[in-house]
Amino acid sequence: MSSPIATIERLADFRGETVTLRGWLHHKSGKGKLHFLVLRDGTGYCQCVVFKKTVGAELFDELGSLGQESSLTVTGLVKEDARAPGGYELQVTSATIVSPSEGFPITPKEHGQDFLLSRRHLWLRSKRQWAIHRVRDAVITSLRRFFDERGFVCFDAPMFTPNACEGTSTLFEVEYFGRSAFLTQSGQLYGEAGAMAFGKIYTLGPTFRAEKSKTRRHLTEFWMLEPEVAFADLDDVCELAEDMLTRVVSDVLERRRVELELLGRDLSKLEAIQKPFPRITYEEASKILVEHPDSDFTPGDDFGAPDETILSNAYDRPLMVTHYPVDVKAFYMKRDSADPTKALCVDVLGTEGVGELIGGSQREDDIDLLLERIDEHGLPREAFEWYLDLRRYGSVPHGGFGLGLERCVGWICGVQHIRECIPFPRTMVRMEP
Ligand code: 4AD
Ligand code: MG
């Protein structure tokens, strides 16, 4: 009778039973008549103990000569072992080699980033990447659940667009059957149409920016989650962002603790992410920066990465900065009636100096003011006719925000460079593999 097939993350269900695991050889050690094979199956890592006298000399020698990343199935007894990573080990009674691997290029020694990025398709098998992408998965699931539970409709925006959303300097232009199209910078404008149709929606998909920057927080292709809500003001937008981030962090702490520990993450920093988040205005933030010895900030400018780091380091929770000058923000943001030089907007800066995770605002809902903004920003009116219709036919106050998925994952994982937070990163200098 063949034994049941188990996965490493579910070994606890099979304590004391004989099971078969299917996976790849992650690491091998041992001495004399004993091998320790660390098998990975995508769900986790498990130490498999092989005694020569149990499996016989022939199989023992075959296993002993296997290279890293050889694929195999192993059958054995599931034994609790507090010292084993994951808490269980397998006492092997038999094994089958599926396909041997020789000279796997990514060994346990240190490799340079460029070497690893060129082998991204293989690098994804390493422990750190495994942990990061399991967190990414949990973040996406948590976000979808959060919005679903609150009655938001998942509403997908197109990738080919006829117009700019976030300024014209970072547009990727592509040839589109004899005319030009742009890869979307944000699903927001379409999300607004969705909010007028369904009340509350969110988009989640890839977005593109021709960013000529090589920073640790810029990709040319990244995923954005964008809720948009009818009958919402700036306060509602801030509250939604706060609820969403606390929920995501708590879900990941619950479902991906092993992965966070593997990444060496300080969990107490994540456990501190609770409501309410501090809120300050741009003016208040400017004062802090002007008085800070390490800042060369000029009032009126947008904050640079070092400014955001200084600001967020003062708090153990994400910081919400509201009311930026209209000049540094997008055309669609509504102006503050109390001070029309300021936008009804919010940026959420992550803790530990990671910088902007979220950008959002209340939207301009008055068609005449919106037309003024479009002209001021030098945008072509014709391309926005459909968007203006949303103000012509039953305009309502509304707002939303965009969360950069990779920045969120990097922040939760404590990973410095967001290129590790997307399976196949696209940056100014790299498109392969
Ligand atoms: O602040 P941004 O540009 O806002 C928008 O696009 C709005 N239309 C969103 C909305 O209100 N619906 O971008 C939103 C977030 C940023 O806060 C950041 O986390 C992320 O997207 N982001 C990037 N992430 C990686 N690489 C880049 N080049 C990014 N640019 C923005
Ligand atoms: Mg922004």
Q: In the prediction, which pLDDT does 52 show?
A: 98
Q: Which of 407, 408, 411, 419 to mutate to test ligand 1, by most ligand atoms within 8 A of the CB atom? A: 407
**pLDDT tens across 7-60, in order?**
999 999 999 999 999 999 999 999 899 999 999 999 999 999 999 999 999 999
Dihedral class, residue 192 (left if φ above 0, else alpha if ψ from -120 to 50, else beta):
alpha
* 404 Cα–ligand 1 center, Å: 6
85: pLDDT strictly greater than 80: no
Which ligand 1 atom lies nearest to the CA of residue 358? 17
Per-residue confidence (pLDDT) for residue 402, from 0 to 100: 98
- pLDDT of residue 365 exceeding 80, the answer is yes
pLDDT at 240: 98
Q: What is the pLDDT of residue 212?
A: 87
Q: Using a 6 Å cutoff on CB, does residue 404 contact ligand 1?
A: yes
Nearest residue (CA) to ligand 1, atom 19? 404
Ligand 1 neighbour 355 (Cβ under 6 A): no
**Amino acid letter, residue 305:** A
Q: Which two tokens stand for residue 161?
A: 């667009």
* Nearest-angstrom CA–CA distance, 430 and 219: 10
Say what the pLDDT of residue 232 is: 98
Residues 6+ apart with CB under 8 A from 376: 331
Tell me, in angstroms, the distance from the centre of ligand 2 to residue 294's CA: 23
* Residue 151: per-residue pLDDT: 98
Q: Which ligand is nearest to the CA of 227?
A: 1
- Nearest ligand, measured from the Cα of 401: 1
CATH 3.30.930.10 location in the chain = 120-421
Answer whether 211 contacts ligand 1 (Cβ < 6 A): yes
Task: Please compute the mean of the pLDDT values over residues 355-366 and round it to a whole number.
Answer: 98
Mean pLDDT for 152-157 is: 98
407 lines ligand 1 (CB under 6 A): yes
Cα 26 from Cα 7, distance rounded (Å) = 15
Q: Ligand 1, from 204, 356, 418, 420: best to mutate by most atoms within 8 Å of Cβ?
A: 356
> Is 166 near ligand 1, meaning CB less than 6 Å away?
yes
Cα dihedral angle (198, 329, 391, 157), rounded to 10 degrees? Answer: -40
Between 101 and 31, name the one with better pLDDT: 101
- The CATH homologous superfamily to which domain 8-99 belongs is Nucleic acid-binding proteins (2.40.50.140)
pLDDT tens digits along 185-200: 999 999 999 999 999 9
Tell which residue, 215, 212, 244, has the closest CA to residue 227: 244
Q: What is the pLDDT of residues 255-299, one digit of tens each?
A: 999 999 999 999 999 999 999 999 999 999 999 999 999 999 999
Which residue's CA is minimally distant from atom 24 of ligand 1?
Answer: 404
Beta bridge partners of 38: 27, 47
User: Of the residues 209, 224, 303, 419, which should be mutated to test ligand 1's pocket, given the most ligand atoms within 8 Å of the CB?
Assistant: 224
Give the model's pLDDT for residue 1: 62
CA-wise closest residue to 345 among 372, 321, 312: 321
Distance between CA atoms of 286 and 167, rounded to whole angstroms? Answer: 24
Phi, psi of 90 (to 5 degrees): -115, 125
Tokens of 189: 């404008």
Query: 236-245, 376-385, 391-400 — which is least confidently predicted?
Result: 376-385
Is 63:98 a contact under the CB 8 Å cutoff?
Answer: no
- pLDDT score, position 214: 85
Of all protein residues, the one whose alpha carbon is nearest to atom 6 of ligand 1 is 186
Take residue 56 and report the two structure tokens written for it: 């016989």
Evaluate: CB of 329 within 6 angstroms of ligand 1. Answer: no
Cα 157–chain centre separation: 19
pLDDT for 167 equals 84
**CA 9, chain centre distance (Å):** 23
Among 9, 4, 6, 7, CA closest to 258: 9
Distance CA 184, CA 205 (A): 10
Ranges in the chain annotated CATH 2.40.50.140: 8-99
Question: Does residue 411 register a pLDDT over 70?
Answer: yes
For 308-357, write each residue's pLDDT tens digit. Answer: 999 999 899 999 999 999 999 999 999 999 999 999 999 999 999 999 99
Ligand 1 atom 7, closest CA: 402
Check pocket membership of 400 for ligand 1, CB cut-off 6 A.
Answer: yes
Q: What is the pTM of this model?
A: 0.97
**Of 167, 421, 132, the residue nearest 302 (C-alpha):** 167
Res. 159: pLDDT tops 70: yes
Secondary structure of the chain in HEC code, one letter for each residue: CCCCECCHHHHHHHCCCEEEEEEEEEEEEEECCEEEEEEECCCCEEEEEEEHHHHCHHHHHHHHCCCCCCEEEEEEEEEECCCCCCCEEEEEEEEEEEECCCCCCCCCCCCCHHHHHHCHHHHCCCHHHHHHHHHHHHHHHHHHHHHHHCCCEECCCCCEECCCCCCCCCCCEEEECCEEEEECCCCHHHHHHHHHHHCEEEEEEEEECCCCCCCCCCCCEEEEEEEEEECCCHHHHHHHHHHHHHHHHHHHHHHCHHHHHHCCCCHHHHHCCCCCCCEEEHHHHHHHHHCCCCCCCCCCCCCCHHHHHHHHCCCCCCEEEECCEHHHCCCCECEECCEEEEECEEEEEECCCCEEEEEEEEECCCHHHHHHHHHHCCCCHHHHHHHHHHHHCCCCCEEEEEEEHHHHHHHHHCCCCHHHHCCCCCECCECCC
Say how far apart CA 223 and CA 423 lie, in whole Å. Answer: 11
Instruction: Quote the ligand 1 centre to 121 CA distance (angstroms).
Output: 27
The whole-number pLDDT of residue 23 equals 98
Q: Which atom of ligand 1 is nearest to the CA of 224?
A: 21
In whole angstroms, what is the distance from residue 412 CA to residue 221 CA?
20
**Atom 28 in ligand 1: which residue has the minimum CA distance?**
218
Instruction: Say which residues have a Cβ less than 8 Å from residue 269's Cβ, sequence separation at least 6.
Output: 316, 351, 352, 414
- Among the atoms of ligand 1, which is closest to the Cα of residue 185? 6
Ligand 1 pocket test, pick from 165, 171, 186 with the greatest ligand atom count within 8 Å of Cβ, gives 186
Amino acid 97: pLDDT: 98
Q: How far is the CA of 71 from the centre of ligand 1 (A)?
A: 40
Q: For a ligand 1 pocket test, name from 136, 163, 165, 222 the mutation site with the most ligand atoms within 8 angstroms of its C-beta.
A: 222
Architecture of the domain whose range is 120-421: 2-Layer Sandwich (3.30)
Tokens (6 digits) for 275: 């409501």
Q: What does the block give as tokens for 364?
A: 């301009």
Mean pLDDT over each residue of the chain, to the nearest integer: 96
Radius of gyration of the chain (CA): 26
